[in-house]
Amino acid sequence: MLMQIIVTGLLQGVIYALIGLGLFLVFNVMRVVNFAHGYFVLIGMYGLLWLDPGSLPSYLLYALAVAAAAVVFGYVIERWLLEFTLHKPGHAQLVITISLGIAMQYFFQIKFPEPYQTIANPWPFSSVQILGVTVSAGRLMAAIISLALTIAISWVVYRTSLGQNIRACSQSLPGAVHVGINFPRVYRSTFAFGAGIAAVAGALLIPFQPVSPHYGLDLTIKAFILVVIGGVASIWGTVIAGVLLGMAESAGSVFISGSLTSSVIYLMFLLVILIRPQGLIVRKAAFA
Amino acid sequence: MSTLLQTLKPATPRQTINTLIVVISVVFAVAYPFIVEPAMVGVGFVALIYAMRNFTWNIAGGLVGLLSLAHVAGFGIGAFSVAILTWEHGINVWIAIAAGVLLSGLVGVIVSLIMSRFGVNAFFFALGTAALSLAVAGIAASWSVTGQVNGLQNHTSGEGFMKLQWFLDPKPLYYVALVILVLIVLFTVWMTSRTRFGRSLPFIREDPDMAASMGIDVVRNQALAMGISMGLTAIPGSLIAQYTSFVSYESVLTLEIGILMLVGAIIGGSSTLAGPIVAGIGIAALEEGLRSFDVTSSSVSSITQIVYAAVVILILRLGADGIVPMWNALLDRLFPGRGDEEPRPSETSTKEEPAHA
């Protein structure tokens, strides 16, 4: 029982962490409250559902294609809908991203009226035993790829010049402008990057996670939970929060009913917002 | 109504036209059930519900600027209070509605006080209230008193005003909704123009620090506005429950409803009183229009939601304030002159009644 909780929680948590990372970058660098982030995950899920890959190579190829499409979509959204709100007061960006999410949700609702679909398992094996727990191939591979991507993202953020620019804009926008960073371009690439990550996560989820249009809002809120609980200081806070959320969910689903589990998680999250809006896990103030 | 007209007496062309529109709309709304076929009366009722919930959201969202997603919890509380108290335990429906209003208002006050106590910003306010709504929905979905996922069904018999149900004819329920909407609007007009509390609300929205330095108790007034707003939001919830005779967490507690209230108020123009009502009526009209275009019923609501979202994005993208402020600006351009000296542009179009469904 305990192993079951730990293994499934860990595997789910790594994917949550990947989704949370996309939001973390956007939230932290641009200070944009992207309520559409969960729906970017749905682009990946529904994209693969629509393309319906039959084999592993086509699955991987389609996943990349969907991610590329999401990157373009994210770029366009940032350029045309969000950029003009960035340095204005008011709630325009919040309302715009919420509305965008709603529009996408109902678009998927029309396009894919049948809820809770998945695609056939694209991996060459069906399930494995880990520490006495049976894990489906999709779940295991999704977690492994998520972990690899998380490490790759941390490499991009902490080791490349793009990452340096991203962190510079996050720490001090006037400072970044002062040293000649083209911040609108950094913002656009960050947002596009975040959307792409979300779509990849969706592509990884679809072989074992049935998709319905409501799932987007759920994922948005969960991603925010990770970012808020993880704190703004480091991407590892978000990753740890993702694993914790996965564990909490799998533990909750064993002991109480599913919807009550999410209620408890949401209420605990509300508490965190109130008591420590700067985050629980990482306490240092700088994203460096 | 007459006092309202007196306040509009030094009339600019815009005020004259808007007053005329309000009067025509009220007359039309009263006559509406008798000039359309019976099936359309239900559509009118739904339009009134949309208008009412947008309007009550706007008391906190537009007047005070609290971007709340907790209102759907108020809507659900209203619906479930009728379902639990009246349908399950046979308590008078009006008492159940009052209980829903009180409970929902209390939730609003507490939410606002807690949020103020911890000094959260607009983003955390939206996120925290969204989390609260999701938590409430999850509890309703797993608690036997609220019918879990199956929801609650109305099995009570007997019709009439005291039961607030009429089985064949939706007209009486339509008029109940209309009267309540008018009362809520009149109350809000009175509150925002005659009471010190009400007049402080836009001030708090524009600059809370300045308001506090002028001796306004910002925290208390925000909490009170949130309480009034959420309490009144319970009423359309109760009415829609009486209309559909069925309540489940999916039908009244999904976060999408809360988002639609927010979006609707902003489309109409959240700085005006008429805006949310216009947007509510408009969306119901749009739904009905699509239905006549032979679209399947599940797609109808999806398409209207997409249109809703697209319109609000467009309005914000163009930097506009919403339909009613745009309409006022149009009138000012068509009839220049005295209207240029307009001292309080946001309050002139105080009221507009449901025009069409």
Q: Which domain holds residue A26?
A: 2-127+137-275
* Closest-CA residue to A146 (of A91, A90, A94, A208): A208
What is the SS3 assignment for B186-232? HHHHHHHHHCHHHHHHHHHHHCHHHHHHCCCCHHHHHHHHHHHHHHH
Tell me what pLDDT residue B157 has.
75
Decide: B82 and B211 in contact? Cβ < 8 Å. Answer: no
φ, ψ dihedrals at B41, nearest 5°? -65, -40
* Chain A contact for B266 (CB, 8 A cutoff): yes
Tens digit of each residue's pLDDT (9 = 90 or more) over B151-168: 788 877 777 777 777 777
Tell me what pLDDT residue B123 has.
76
Decide: A32 and A86 in contact? Cβ < 8 Å. Answer: yes
CB under 8 A, 24+ apart: contacts of B155-161: B155/B87, B156/B86, B156/B87, B156/B90
Tell me what pLDDT residue B345 has.
41
State the average pLDDT over residues A220-247: 86
Burial (Cβ within 10 Å: 0-12, 13-18, ≥19) of residue A14: buried
Inside any domain, residue A286: no
Inside any domain, residue A258: yes
State the average pLDDT over residues B245-254: 85
- Percent of chain A exceeding pLDDT 90 equals 31
Tell me what pLDDT residue B163 has.
75
Name the band, by pLDDT with cuts 50, 70 and 90, for residue A46.
very high
Mutation to test the B interface, candidates A217, A266, A278, most B Cβ within 10 Å: A266
For residue B107, pLDDT over 90 is answered with yes
Burial (Cβ within 10 Å: 0-12, 13-18, ≥19) of residue A133: middle
Tens digit of each residue's pLDDT (9 = 90 or more) over B223-242: 999 999 999 999 999 999 98
Q: In total, how many domains does chain A have? A: 1
For B317, the closest of A81, A106, A263 (CB atoms) is: A81
Give the N- to C-terminal CA distance of chain A in Å, as an integer.
40
Tens digit of each residue's pLDDT (9 = 90 or more) over B329-352: 888 888 876 544 444 444 434 444
The two three-digit tokens of residue A269, written as one number: 């999250």
Strand, coil or helix: what is B265?
helix
Inside any domain, residue A77: yes
Tens digit of each residue's pLDDT (9 = 90 or more) over A117-141: 888 888 888 888 877 788 888 889 9
Distance CA A33, CA B193 (A): 35
Residues of chain B contacting residue A100, judged by C-beta atoms under 8 Å apart: 309, 313
Nearest chain A residue to B62 by CA distance is: A91
Element containing residue A136 per DSSP (H, E)? strand A133-136
Distance CA B64, CA B316 (A): 19
Inside any domain, residue A288: no
Inside any domain, residue A162: yes
* Strongest mean pLDDT among A40-44, B41-45, B205-209, B304-308: A40-44
For residue B35, pLDDT over 50 is answered with yes
Distance CA A140, CA A11 (A): 7
State the average pLDDT over residues B47-75: 90
Cβ–Cβ gap B316/A96 under 8 Å: yes
Inside any domain, residue A196: yes
Residues of chain B contacting residue A274, judged by C-beta atoms under 8 Å apart: 114-115, 117-118, 120, 128
For A221, the closest of B130, B266, B306 (CB atoms) is: B130
For A94, the closest of B115, B123, B299 (CB atoms) is: B123
Name the band, by pLDDT with cuts 50, 70 and 90, for residue B11.
low
Q: What is the mean pLDDT of chain A?
A: 86
Tell me what pLDDT residue B235 has.
94
Residue scoring higher pLDDT (A16 or B150):
A16
For residue A237, pLDDT over 80 is answered with yes
For residue B25, pLDDT over 80 is answered with yes
Inside any domain, residue A284: no
Tens digit of each residue's pLDDT (9 = 90 or more) over A63-85: 999 999 999 999 999 998 888 88
Tens digit of each residue's pLDDT (9 = 90 or more) over B316-329: 888 777 788 888 88
CATH number of the domain bearing residue A204: 1.10.3470
- Percent of chain B exceeding pLDDT 70 equals 89
Distance CA B342, CA B331 (A): 12
Tell me what pLDDT residue B239 has.
92
DSSP A21-62: HHHHHIIIII----TTHHHHHHHHHHHHHHH---SHHHHHHH
Inside any domain, residue A280: no
The β-bridge partners of B160 are B165
For residue A228, pLDDT over 90 is answered with no
Tell me what pLDDT residue A274 has.
75
Name the band, by pLDDT with cuts 50, 70 and 90, for residue B109.
very high
Decide: B258 and B134 in contact? Cβ < 8 Å. Answer: no
State the average pLDDT over residues B137-164: 78
Distance CA B186, CA A181 (A): 54
Residues of chain A contacting residue B115, judged by C-beta atoms under 8 Å apart: 274
Closest CA–CA distance from residue B134 to any residue of chain A (Å): 7
Cβ–Cβ gap B298/A33 under 8 Å: no
For A274, the closest of B114, B139, B263 (CB atoms) is: B114
For residue A166, pLDDT over 70 is answered with yes
State the average pLDDT over residues A167-184: 86
Decide: B310 and A103 in contact? Cβ < 8 Å. Answer: yes
Beta strands in chain B (DSSP E): 152-153, 246-247
